[in-house]
Homo-oligomer: A and B are copies of this chain.
Amino acid sequence: MENTLESVLQHENWARKQSGPLYAQLRDHIADAIRTGVIGAGDSLPSEREIAELSGVSRITVRKAFKELVRDGLVIQKQGSGTSVTPVVERVQQSLSILSSFTEDMARRGKHVHSELLERGLYPATLPEIMTLSLPPDSMVARISRLRIADGVPLAIERASLSPAFLPDPQNVGQSLYAHLDKYGCRPSRALQRISAINLGADDAELLDVNEGVAGLNIERISYLPNGETVEFTRSIYRGDAYDFLAELHIQPASDSR
């Protein structure tokens, strides 16, 4: 009857059956239990001390196994409230050739989105902002930083900087920055993005509700008006487990292909 967690963790049911370090055997054993559904998404795991006792290893060994499960995003640990299996997140596919608005994009998929405001207002511009946005020295810059949430799941942190010429009133931006820019006729028509992979730091990981060190996508975007003026410089961090970016590539011009 009890083909549950407890029996799975019984020492005699796993230890020394494989080779390699104890913590790796325990880690793989728990990972299998998660993947095969013996433990479901969102379920709580026994405490480190309980597992240590059940499985006959020291608590530090259990912690070491957990640490790697945490790093790989299989479980989530919270001080004071225990360890549980990471809830599954539906991956969002986003095009890398069509410039779209997060809010409009998600609405089209029938998802309920909202943003948590992290920062909004006019600030003294930093040097990168001055250079990227072609601002005069000692200029102010409009900044909007938001945590993007779809159906209750935080997906991305967006930190946008704009020239005050295009956004004199950051306080009035609602859910969608692009919709706001539309009103003033300065919605960008073209953008360049730079994409790289990073391990999330403690602060960003907490905002995105994932474990520190989990892989994320770091995207810097510079958006332009049809006349070539720079509108927006945005640094975003996306959850690696929640996003697939799609790009369509074409062969380079024949003259160049030697």
Q: What is A's interface to B at a CB cutoff of 8 Å?
A: 68, 71-73, 91, 93, 95-100, 104, 187-199, 213-217, 221, 238, 240, 243-252, 257-258
Contact of A99 among B221, B240, B243, B251 (CB under 8 A): B251
**Does the CB pair A250–B215 fall under 8 Å?**
no
Contact of A196 among B72, B190, B217 (CB under 8 A): B217
Q: Which residues of B contact A245 (CB under 8 A)?
A: 194-196, 247
Cα–Cα distance between A71 and B213 once the two chains are bound (Å): 7
**Does the CB pair B71–A250 fall under 8 Å?**
no
Known: A97-B97, A213-B71. A196 touches B240 (CB 8 A): yes
Q: Which residues of B contact A189 (CB under 8 A)?
A: 250-251
Q: Which residues of B contact A193 (CB under 8 A)?
A: 246-249
**Does the CB pair B250–A190 fall under 8 Å?**
yes
Known: A199-B215, A215-B215. A191 touches B244 (CB 8 A): no
Known: A188-B251, A196-B243. 17 other contacts (CB 8 A): A71-B213, A93-B194, A98-B251, A99-B252, A104-B258, A187-B251, A189-B250, A192-B247, A192-B249, A194-B246, A195-B245, A195-B247, A196-B217, A196-B245, A197-B197, A197-B240, A215-B216
Residue among A73, A199, A252 with max Cβ neighbours from chain B (10 Å): A199
**Does the CB pair B97–A244 fall under 8 Å?**
no
Q: Which residues of B contact A243 (CB under 8 A)?
A: 196-197
Q: Which residues of B contact A215 (CB under 8 A)?
A: 197-199, 215-216, 240
Q: Which residues of B contact A68 (CB under 8 A)?
A: 213
**Does the CB pair A98–B250 fall under 8 Å?**
yes
Q: A35 to chain B: closest CB distance in Å?
A: 15
List the 8 closest A-B pairs by CB distance, nearest first: A197-B240, A215-B215, A99-B249, A197-B215, A96-B247, A195-B245, A191-B249, A193-B247
**Does the CB pair A240–B198 fall under 8 Å?**
yes
Cα–Cα distance between A104 and B245 once the two chains are bound (Å): 25
Q: Which residues of B contact A258 (CB under 8 A)?
A: 104
Q: A87 to chain B: closest CB distance in Å?
A: 18
Considering only CB atoms, which chain B residue lies closest to A67 in the complex? B67
Q: Which residues of B contact A198 (CB under 8 A)?
A: 197, 215, 240
19 intermolecular pairs with C-beta atoms under 8 Å apart: A68-B213, A95-B249, A96-B247, A97-B249, A98-B251, A190-B248, A192-B246, A193-B248, A195-B247, A196-B217, A196-B240, A196-B245, A197-B197, A197-B215, A197-B238, A197-B240, A198-B215, A199-B215, A247-B247
